[in-house]
Amino acid sequence: MPLSPPSDDRLTALTKTGLAAEPDPVFDRLAELVRRVLHVPVALVSLVEADRQVFPGACGLGEPWQERRETPLSHSFCKLVVETAAPLIVVDARTDPRVAGNLAITELGVISYAGMPLTDEGGNVLGSLCAIDSVPRRWTDHELTVLSDLAAACSDSLRLRIATQTARRRESRAGLAFDRSQHLLRASVALANTGTVDDVVKVLRELATVTLSPDFVGVSLVDRAGRISLRSGDVLPPPVAERWSRYSGVVTPAALAIRRGAAVMLPDLAAIRAYAPDAGETFAEMGWEAAVSLPLPSLTGPIGALTFVWKQPFAPDEIEQAVLAAVAGYVAQALQRADYLFAQKSAAEVLQSALLSELPDTTPFEVASRYESAARGEHVGGDWYDAVRLDPRHLALVIGDVTGHDMTAAAMMGRLRSKLRLLLVDRNEPPAALLRRLDAACQVLGDRVAATVVLAYLYPDPSGHGHQLHWSNAGHPGPLLVTDGVVTVLEERDPLLGVLNRTSRTSHLRHVPPGSTVLFYTDGLIETRTSLWDDRVSQLCDLVAGLADRPLPELLDRLYAELADDDHEDDVALIAVRTPR
């Protein structure tokens, strides 16, 4: 039976994933990871549609279901996860009234089940990551915690997939419009380099002089309240410019074009007085006699109007109308591009923030962090930091950098971070051993990753004085230890992750006196095209020494302000910890 009632937002999000009843390598690997870690015969990444569930990730499912990658909802436990937006834990399905009549019991052999919700950015539950056994099973708290963490990683992958496909669709639409306008008007090249309304107005004036030679070019924008503002009035007499700086409820050529969503041709004063009477006084005052106003199109309706005015009667022919329409389309695109890029940057930063960890309670340690995306590109990347409270006395700190600063790097970073977190809570072992296991896990699961990582543990010194820093470095810039204003670079490092099989890795120990600070950072903080690396490290050390007594958030802000270029090409991540005095 169909899921009732279906959520339009949820079903739309499912469509945006682009996933269907066919295998996907990313989600197959996640299912395999669940099966191996929880020692279950079957694991699924299940997405619940209106009348079926599909399995882009599946491991161990019996035939014909493993090949079909879908079942009707009569065979779905996962639909209950979607309906309740909560985990579903079943010890023995045959005696559980919630699922006792489900056909998955007899036809798929589902006896015990643990499913965690998979959500999109808006909190819509798209399906579940589930572990299945063919015999009754009491799931332990540890198993459910591991499954929940893996579901969070799976949700991150779904969100990245939705964001990536949405961005590609938008870029495709913008690209098509750009190509068409290129063929219609050379103005496309000039307008492509504009970044503000003033830039667009300036380019339009220059281009209009050599095309249809209007006496005035008006760029008007409309806000959500329907108020229209003339953004090109700087060449008009101040009283006229003030009159049309912002208005509503009157009929002008621009207002007509916006309201109709179509071009308005007013070839003479008689047409102006008849169809745009509220503009008649201004036209007479300025000596204007004709106007063409075109809406500036967007997917949600006109964002404004582009108006050309002449001091003599004028009626453009079909070719001239096509030129004007092309100009209006490209102007709209130029204006929307600036808004779109800002929105994309904001959305990407929200996504990156979701992939980065909210710092836990680290008492008695003081911990602060900062992340800044590259100044150009997709505003997401592979740099990350993390802090995990292993127990009340032990704190794990991570800084890492996956090659790249785009959606692909962010996706790989999310997977690598999730694996490392899982390994951290799996067992207590030296940092070098854990990094070896992380490297091996990436190879087994087919994640071709090139990344640098520092993993460090901070815990009380057995002597009772200060703390011990126990760390291993996989090719990352060395952390800085700051004690009484003296900065030491912890330079020991091994090869980065993902480049060599069976790499030997080493753990290191260093005593950390009370009140000391340890700073971890990624190379984007100090790397430039114009300075030597060692010189920049020395500059960093000098700055840290001078700021050693400052609160950690201020320290990180000052370091970023002093060292990172305004146009830095790489992401920047920092995390610092200060031990109690």
Q: What pLDDT is attached to residue 2?
A: 41
Alpha carbon separation from 165 to 17, 117, 353, 447, 458 (Å, rounded): 7, 22, 19, 21, 41
For the ranges 43-52, 124-133, 558-567, the lowest mean pLDDT is seen at 558-567
- Pair (368, 516) in one structural domain: yes
pLDDT at 159: 93
| Res 174 pLDDT > 80 | no
Looking at 295, 320, 343, the residue that finishes a domain is 343
Higher pLDDT, 411 or 561: 561
Domain residue limits at 103: 8-166
Q: Check residues 498 and 138 and name the one with the higher pLDDT.
A: 138
Measuring CA to CA, which residue among 34, 26, 77 is closest to residue 59? 34
Q: What is the domain-level CATH number for residue 77?
A: 3.30.450.40
- Residue-wise pLDDT for 212-221, tens only, equals 789 999 999 9
pLDDT at residue 347 in the model? 52
What pLDDT is attached to residue 172? Answer: 67
Give how far Cα 368 sits from Cα of 246, 397, 521, Å. 46, 11, 12
- Residue 349 in any domain: the answer is no
138-153 mean pLDDT: 95
The pLDDT of residue 4 is 42
Q: What is the DSSP letter of 455?
A: E
Owner of token pair 């060692």: 534
State yes or no: pLDDT of 186 exceeds 70: no
Q: What is the mean pLDDT of residues 229-242?
A: 91
Q: What is the mean pLDDT of residues 81-103?
A: 95
Q: Where are the beta strands (DSSP E) in 423-494?
A: 451-460, 467-474, 480-483, 486-489
66 within a domain of the structure (yes/no) = yes
pLDDT at residue 234 greater than cutoff 80: yes
DSSP state of 494: B
Specify whether 512 is located in the same domain as 389: yes
Q: Which pLDDT band, with edges at 50, 70 and 90, does 390 fall under? A: very high
Count of C-beta atoms within a 10 Å radius of residue 403? 16
Asked whether residue 328 falls in the same domain as residue 398, the answer is no
Confidence at 432, pLDDT banded by 50, 70, 90: very high
Q: How far is CA 170 from CA 156, 333, 337, 340, 482, in A?
A: 21, 12, 11, 9, 47
Yes or no: say if 260 and 268 are a contact pair by the CB < 8 Å rule. Answer: no
**Does one domain contain both 158 and 235?**
no
- CA neighbor of 149 nearest in space, from 26, 19, 38: 38
What is the average pLDDT across 347-365? 71
Claim to verify: residue 63 and residue 199 sit in the same structural domain = no
Mean pLDDT for all residues in the chain: 88
Residue 175 has a pLDDT of 59
> Are residues 313 and 339 located together in one domain of the fold?
yes
